[in-house]
Structure 1
Amino acid sequence: MADEIQDKAAGVVEAIFGSGGEAEAEAKEELKGDPAVPTSPQTTAAEARVEVKADGGKIATLVDGTTVETFPDDSKISTFPDGTVVESKADGAKITSWPDGTKKETRPDGQKITTRQDGTTTVNNADGTKIVTWPDGSQRESRADGTKVETLSGGVVTETQASGVKIATFPDGTKMHTLVDGTKVAFMPDGSQVETRPDKTKTTTYADGTTVESRPDGTKVTTFKDQTTKEIRPDGTKLTKWPDGTMLEVKPDGTKITTRPDGKVEITKPETNPEAEAKPEDDESDPDYEEEEH
């Protein structure tokens, strides 16, 4: 039934403009193919009114209020009684505007742009990319390869790649990469980076090449740019290794163990205080001393 109605509307245009010209055929197709054509036109060719403009353009007005205006460049504007407007441009672009404020544009390159009454805009590109922009400025881009990019209103941009890797970019330039295994790597504006692994191991790499690794058991290892390393263990033991192979281990009790590159080991015990206090004894010279009665 709907097809019959649309054919009837197309027939009206054909009767108005004739049946042999290219412009007339396009006018027919414009009405027949557009979903915005009223579902129950009460118009016949005899009831239509046509106005021919001085520039060669034509305006057809149907009794139901529908108007089709054709311009010399073959572009057209169709206005329906409900307020829907369809504009077909000479370059092939088509713009449809609905009464509720929704607007859809199809461009010659295949790009489609839909703007809704709340200001939300959806862009579908010919390559499969889809971009949705909300009134608050936030945006989501879905690419053909499965990548999704979201721009939040605060300026944070998140990218979810098809592989599952997520990248968040903050306004200050900081970037946070979240890998598939849960590892997170933050790249700071000053050139440093912080890597946090699923087992809670945290490694900070500074711009000068120094790295600090904090392990779940409390061990902390610092590696300097000359490859000297300093390790602090949970029990308080400190271990320093130099590039030449020398190693110094300091125990919690102060004992120092030095291992030389040639394998020689030196052990230094902490010094004891020779003047350690002894337990005080009774002294008869003490004025508070009282001789025990016998």
Structure 2
Amino acid sequence: MGAGSSILGQSGQEGLRCASPSPTDVMRVKLLAELRHEKSLDPNAKDVEDHHAEVIRLRSWLRDVDGILTRMVGEAADQAAGIFEDKGSNLPESRSELEDGTVIFMREDGYRRQEDTDGVIIHSWPDGRKKQVHPTGREQETLPDNTRITRTEDGKIITKRPDGSKYQVNPDGTTISVTKDGIVEQYNPSDIDGTTTQINESDGSKICVFPDGTKIDTDAAGVRIVKYPGKDQYRIQRNPNGTTIETWGSTGRKVQTRADKIQTSPSGEVIEQMPDGTCRKVAGSYIAVQCHMCQTISSVQRASYLVSCRMCRNILLTHKSHVEEGRKTLSKSEEELDGEILEIFQHYDKNHSSSIDRSELGALLSDLQIPHDNFEQLFVEKDANKSEALEWEEFESFFKAVLLDVAASGQASSVQITNDILREQRSAIEAETKSAEARQRELEAKARLGDTAASTEMEEQQTLLRKLKAEYEQKTAQLQHAKEAKRKMQREALKRKKMERDAMRSPK
């Protein structure tokens, strides 16, 4: 124990030699001596294992000691501030007794003390200060500025100020402060666990910070977010309905768990795990676009900007912002096509030089899955000023030539891929619908038993089911369009072969 503790011990012993010790003095000296002894020990793991019950008792005893010392320190501070100073304590007192047995003592300086028959003592001072002491040990004091100080039987000190703020000191050293606006902040000293808690009583929101940096935010709706320290910036959100959302801020990975699990990778790919353990990519990662030339429905990634029709190789411009309900019909008129070519020019002009250089053109051809070498000669021809870049007029001429070349050499490629993707999406919607219907039946059973929360969620499930039904019908229509396009392609292929055979048979 430090020097301050030794001085306290010596002064206490000197006081015992000079005067008859009171029971309280004896207890204080004994507690301080035992406290010094306990603090000097360094228990090992075996001690804790062999004397687990004793360790628990010791911790409880140390908390009691801390409460006593905290109260002593508080009283010393109050005395230093003049709160307990009674300058007229040596003045003579007059005594009077009422019929009910109440005794009243008064002094000429205005001090008054009332001792009731139930043991309650009430002190009054001329400056307006009052103090009420109960036999149980509870004390209530009112200062001249109307500040109220309460000392409870279990050692708590509660100070309430006229502006509505409050400050509380607990025996274990925990302090709780409440501002006039209702913000509650709780602090646990480092010798306990160092936790700080802030509560807004107006809406019930709460913030709790632990010594290791862990932070728990609870909002008024009951949503609980736990943020853990560390480079991965991990946090977990728990909603009142049981949904949990885990987020790794350093990578962008997110996992949502309820009846099923949804995981989002940093690249944006979404994988959903169904209650039965089945994993699938969420259909929302793709959109469906329709070619204005052959009417073929193609499923492409949502982030795609420029794509080529799988059927006729026509070049399609598709913006995520322009897609409505997963489908967009592309331009048909020449004027609209010119507008789209200008839009493509502006999109791929990454350095804003008002021209498309070789690297930017390479990115465009890569998006269309066209080999760069196929149009190298065309690039040289259209680059009239030999600047190694295509200005707007040059690019417009180049791009229209690409459109004609692709359309002329286009082959109906991999239509089956589109069919497969649409079938997968429709199957995924079917599985999601079955899961939603099962959940709806559970909620209906709970609602019949009077569960109001279930009734609210039932409305959400019904909305979800309607949406799933519409998506299923849409995917069915898109799949039918793809099948018709495939049959059209087959008919045209047979027609071309027949024309070729007829040409070969016809006399020259």
Match of 1:65 in 2: 110
Match of 1:52 in 2: 97
Equivalents in 1 of 2:215, 2:246: separation in Å?
Answer: 14
Alignment counterpart, residue 140 of structure 2, candidates 78, 95, 100: 95
Match of 1:112 in 2: 157
Equivalents in 2 of 1:119, 1:96: separation in Å?
Answer: 16
Equivalents in 2 of 1:194, 1:71: separation in Å?
Answer: 62
Equivalents in 1 of 2:153, 2:198: separation in Å?
Answer: 27
CA, structure 1 residues 104+74, in 2 after alignment: closer, same or farther (shift >3 Å)?
same
Instruction: Give the 3-state SS of the residue equivalent to 1:78 in structure 2.
Output: strand
Shift of 1:105: 0.9
Letter in 1 for 2:269: K
Shift of 1:38: 4.9
Cα offsets for 1:188-214 (capped at 9, x unmatched): 233322222132413132422231313
CA, structure 1 residues 211+86, in 2 after alignment: closer, same or farther (shift >3 Å)?
same
Equivalents in 2 of 1:111, 1:59: separation in Å?
Answer: 29
Q: How does 1:1-294 map to 2 (within 5 A)?
A: 35-38=82-85, 40-41=87-88, 44-45=91-92, 48-143=93-188, 144-152=192-200, 153-181=202-230, 182-215=233-266, 218-225=267-274, 226-230=277-281, 236=301
Shift of 1:122: 1.9
CA, structure 1 residues 208+38, in 2 after alignment: closer, same or farther (shift >3 Å)?
closer
Cα pair 1:168 1:175 within 8 Å, conserved? yes
Cα offsets for 1:103-143 (capped at 9, x unmatched): 11111211111111111122222233322223333212223
Match of 2:10 in 1: none
Cα pair 1:192 1:207 within 8 Å, conserved? yes
Q: Any gaps of 5 or more consecutive residues in structure 1?
A: 1-32, 238-250, 259-270, 277-294
Higher relative contact order (Cα pairs below 8 Å, separated by 6+ residues): 2
TM-score, normalised with respect to structure 2: 0.38
Shift of 1:98: 0.1
CA, structure 1 residues 252+146, in 2 after alignment: closer, same or farther (shift >3 Å)?
farther
Letter in 2 for 1:163: D
Letter in 1 for 2:212: S
Instruction: Give the 3-state SS of the residue equivalent to 2:203 in structure 1.
Output: coil
Shift of 1:66: 0.8
Return the structure number with greater helix share.
2
Equivalents in 1 of 2:215, 2:182: separation in Å?
Answer: 21
Shift of 1:54: 2.6
**Aligned-pair Cα RMSD in Å:** 3.6
The structure 1 segments of at least 4 consecutive aligned residues displaced by more than 6 Å after TM superposition are 273-276
Q: Any gaps of 5 or more consecutive residues in structure 2?
A: 1-77, 287-299, 303-366, 370-412, 421-485, 494-508
Equivalents in 2 of 1:134, 1:40: separation in Å?
Answer: 34
Letter in 2 for 1:223: E
Identity %: 22
Instruction: Give the 3-state SS of the residue equivalent to 2:226 in structure 1.
Output: strand
CA, structure 1 residues 111+38, in 2 after alignment: closer, same or farther (shift >3 Å)?
closer
Equivalents in 1 of 2:240, 2:257: separation in Å?
Answer: 11
Return the structure number with greater strand share.
1
Shift of 1:49: 2.2
Equivalents in 2 of 1:195, 1:138: separation in Å?
Answer: 29
CA, structure 1 residues 62+252, in 2 after alignment: closer, same or farther (shift >3 Å)?
farther
